[in-house]
Every structure is written in C-alpha cells, then in structure tokens.
C-alpha cells in the first residue's frame, strides 16, 4: 500500500512540474473589474478606488432655472438650498428644485466663476476669473470685500479662476487652464501655501472639498468628468463619467441626501444624481 501511494504522489508531483515548465500554463487569477461603461439611470460610471468610493450612480434628474451663464453651485449655510454664481456678476439663491428665489443683493460687474460657503460662520466666498482674485460677501449681503489676489504666472484671462471651495481654514481655488492648477490659500495667513498642477483635466470647471476625508472633487467641463483626488498628494481616488450634463460648470456634494449636484452652463439647468 505504501508503494502504491508513493508512486501516485510522485506521478502528481511530476505532472505539476511539467505544467509549470510549460509556457502555455498560466495560473488563473481574479482581478477586480474596472469599467468605464455607464452605470445606473444617470449614465455615470464608478471605478475601483482604495478609499471605497466606487459609487453606483442612479436616478439623474434635471431642474430648469430659467438662467443662463451658470458658473458654480454650492449648498447654502442651512443646507436647504443653493447659491449659484453667474458670469454676469450676480449670485442667485435657489431651492433644491431649481426654483430661483432671488439674488443676493450686492451690485457687481465681476465675472464670478466660483462660489463656496464656510459652514461654520456662513461666510460666502467668490472667485473672479479675470482678476485671479478672491472676494467675500459682507455679512449684510449688500457688498463684497476683496480677500486677496493670486499671481498666476503665464495665466490667460479667459482661462482663469473657475472654482473655489472652503476647507478647514483654507480656500482651494482652481485655475481653468494655462496652467491647470489648484491653489491652496490660507485665510489666516492671507497667502498661497501650496499649489498642485492637474494633468488629467483639460478644463477645470469647479472644485469641492470633502471634509470627512480631506479630498477634493474636480469637474472637467470639456471631458465631462468628475474626479476625486487626495487634497495633499493629488492621487486619484475615483472618477466618474458625467456626460448627462452637457457642460458641467458647477458641482457640489450633498452628503445628507447622498447626491451629486451640477449646474450646466449650456442649458441653465441643475442636475442631481444619487450615489450609494
């Protein structure tokens, strides 16, 4: 019996060695599937990410605002509506259904391209494309005050600041192109403390800081892509196809409702899509 077992064992070992030496033998492996194909009703696509942000997107909806030249969108300090920046120097207030409630009552001829709110004190910040400048809206909402200007070497005036977002005492400002760069501006120190060049986007159109993990969400209006990156290293965490928005100029993340919100410069519509 021992002789038989020994013969069988030797035969198995010899067969295995023969397979390993055979170049046609390839061990079967199972890699995680990554797809760029649209997923869900909204046509978004999630990709595998180490941070677990491979969200499934579904239920895309659009809301007509009756406005044009929409540049940026952010939730208001209460989280029950939006501030929407417009090219013509106006800042609108709107409901979650896209209904425009009016304008913040300051007069301006500035080219506002980005808007964000400090949720702690309700301060509204705006970025001005042609001046490469940051402004804040005064507490009475009747005027704006210059916060600071940023020197952009080689910058082109109609490809200047396109997005701004508040995050833990800093303002992250996105320069659209030439260069495609994010500036981290310290409100306390009143200066830029770091910069990050972005190579994956053609037109940076808006930016959003996610406080829970210190990451940045960036929209590219030309590629119709939404990308989530680490705010310090610039490493890509996740990327989504947002081709259901014709020209996604503005973006904000609504964690309470688990929704992505966009504003479209081409149609004047707001768009929402759920993630999970």
Say which range, 3-12, 91-100, 158-167, has the weakest mean pLDDT: 3-12
My answer on whether omega of the bond before 179 falls inside 30° of 0, hence cis, is yes
Q: Is 50 exceeded by the pLDDT of residue 28?
A: no
Q: Is 60 exceeded by the pLDDT of residue 108?
A: yes
- Supply 75's token pair: 């939730």
- CA dist 32 → 43, 47, 150 (Å): 21, 10, 43
C-alpha to C-alpha distance for 254 and 258, rounded to whole angstroms: 6
pTM, full prediction = 0.81
Domains of the chain by range and CATH? 39-275 (2.120.10.30)
Average confidence score pLDDT of the chain: 85
Specify the pLDDT at position 126. 98
> Average pLDDT for residues 104-126, to the nearest whole number?
94
């Amino acid at each position: 019996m021992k002789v038989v077992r020994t013969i069988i064992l030797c035969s198995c070992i010899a067969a295995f060695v023969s397979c390993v030496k055979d170049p046609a033998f390839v061990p079967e492996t199972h890699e995680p599937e990554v797809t760029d194909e649209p997923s869900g009703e909204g046509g978004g696509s999630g990709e595998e990410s180490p941070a677990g942000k491979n969200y499934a997107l579904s239920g895309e909806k659009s809301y007509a605002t009756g406005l044009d030249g929409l540049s940026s969108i952010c939730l208001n300090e209460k989280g029950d509506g939006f501030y929407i920046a417009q090219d013509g120097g106006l800042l609108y207030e709107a409901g979650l259904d896209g209904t425009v409630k009016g304008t913040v009552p300051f007069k301006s001829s500035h080219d506002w391209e980005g808007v964000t709110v400090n949720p702690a004190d309700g301060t509204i910040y705006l970025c001005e494309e042609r001046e490469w400048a940051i402004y804040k809206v005064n507490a009475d909402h009747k005027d704006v005050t210059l916060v600071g200007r940023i020197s952009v070497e080689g910058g082109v005036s109609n490809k200047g600041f396109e997005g701004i977002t508040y995050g833990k005492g800093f303002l992250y400002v996105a320069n659209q192109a030439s260069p495609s760069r994010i500036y981290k501006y310290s409100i306390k120190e009143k200066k830029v403390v770091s910069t990050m060049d972005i190579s994956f986007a053609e037109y940076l159109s808006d930016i959003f800081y996610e406080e829970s993990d210190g990451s940045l969400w960036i929209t590219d209006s030309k590629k119709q892509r939404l990308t989530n990156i680490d705010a310090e290293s610039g490493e890509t965490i996740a990327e989504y196809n947002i081709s259901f928005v014709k020209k996604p100029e503005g973006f904000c993340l609504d964690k309470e409702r688990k929704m992505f919100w966009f504003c479209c410069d081409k149609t004047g519509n707001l768009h929402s899509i759920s993630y999970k």
